[in-house]
Structure 1
Amino acid sequence: MIEVGKINDLKVVDENSSGYYLSTDENEEKAFMPPSLGPKEIKIGDELKVFIYLDTSDCLLATSNFPSAVVGEYAYMRVVETTHFGAFLNWGITKDLLIPDTEQKTPIRMGENHLVRVCKDERTERIFGTTKLGKFIQASEFDIAEGDEIELVPATKEELGYRCIVNKKFVGMIYHNEIFTEIIPGKKMNGVVKKLREDGLVDCALQVQGIKNLVDSKDVILDYLEKNGGKAELHDKSTPDAIKKALGMSKQTFKKSIGMLYKDRKILLKKDGIELVNTNKEE
């Protein structure tokens, strides 16, 4: 099934003088891709990763260019046109993203930059943007944990700090009193989760704290091993719950930490867990 507003893996199944037709199966619905929206060399049978949206006739259109955000994600976008019914923003593909006037928290003006969530009308499958973010933030279902490294995109400057996009999926805040480098709205930065708030927002810190978190996590793992005979039945295939219960950290942090400990030659990585190097030598 082709998903509108998402990145799809499709196969080129047909072509004509106007372009190419892509599908998941030759008997299913097809998306059209004109040569201008695809790679230079295409042939039937090629498998392509494409973004799908609707053209003005509500037909499926494919492009190998990806937008700055897909449906359900956030991005920092610039206004390129305003009309009586809404505003159009540049989101990285040929067709600009419409934010209807009914989806604007405050009136949008030409040349402004905005933090936008990409949405889809489930009835018409038309894609649109919104700056009314409250209900989406409150409904956040976090797949990150405190201490995790994250990708940040600073957006709007506010009284307490910068409102930012977290991993394209969440909205957070970097506070002014914790900023020790230049912040450029729209420029990606590395950061770390400080706190997951009950209101759906993410309190963030910049990468310096992320590095400290990994150092602390390494010490936690070594201490756990020393207290448990030098071995632990934890590895990169362990469940996040098992890792959190034993060590109080996320699986992502655990994997990065054991990788660093392995490089430091302090632990051995086994199929069924990890071991202190010294314990192995004594045996």
Structure 2
Amino acid sequence: MAELTAGMITTLEVSHKAPFGYFLSDGGDQEVLLHENDVTRSLGEHEKISVFLYQDHQGRIAATMTLPTVRFDAFDWATAVSLHKKYGTFLDIGINKDLLLSKDDMTYEWESWPQPGDRVYCSLKLDKKQRLFARLADETEIRRISIPAPEKLQNKNVHATIYRLVLDGAHVLTDEGYIGFIHNAEVNGTIRLGQAFDCRVIDVKENGSLNLSMKPRSYEMIEGNSEKIIAYMNSRDGAMPYWDKSLPEDIKKRFGISKGDFKKALGQLMKEGKLFQKDGWSYLKQEE
């Protein structure tokens, strides 16, 4: 009989009932516990069932009747449930025991590890001590499941998930299955492995992959800055001590944007007849 190891899907026979579940046998001298929490239906004595084997919290081989889609020979998405700086990120693969994506497989700072709610595409692997871990999908596997993007996606929005981080950015897979890349220059804030977000297509390459950006289009940026300015002015009865000749550092401190972006937003508001400037101040026009 082959040794029963974590990660296997195998057929075992119900040996006998226990107060806390069932003991299963491989027909030889190996028995494993099927805990009552891992039982999905009533079982009869000597019934043969398919189970997935894993290590319980004491490190013993245990069984579950829930067969995960993440396996040694099959990749699937797994959701992060917790992050521990000492170990890595724990993933939910559908069974009662979370699977560890080891910090040793993430060669970057913990702030870039998957956080609860993030998803990673992975399979299973065993370490030298026969402990079960998550194995991240490599580029070959991602390309196997991907499809080429059509040219009509140029400047369109897509929803993507980061599957690999590199020094100059992140490789992503869109919900449709398109491979993309986001350069650090096109990133807003910090990014993480497994993070999902909306972004826009800035280039469709000949091989069907995408160059993407998390940054808003220029008109969207102007609209956002205009709304920020209007909100601030409304909090001050429609007036503020800033105009297009204010110092860049004052603008940055108050609004968190560059003077150039501030002037574009002011210009748009004046063009729309919502604002005017006088003696170093800006004023909202009152509705007549």
Q: State the TM-score bracket (shorter-chain normalisation).
A: 0.3 to 0.5
Given the two structures, how large is their TM-score scaled by the length of structure 1? 0.47
Q: Normalized against structure 2, the TM-score is what?
A: 0.46
**Structure having the higher Rg:** 2
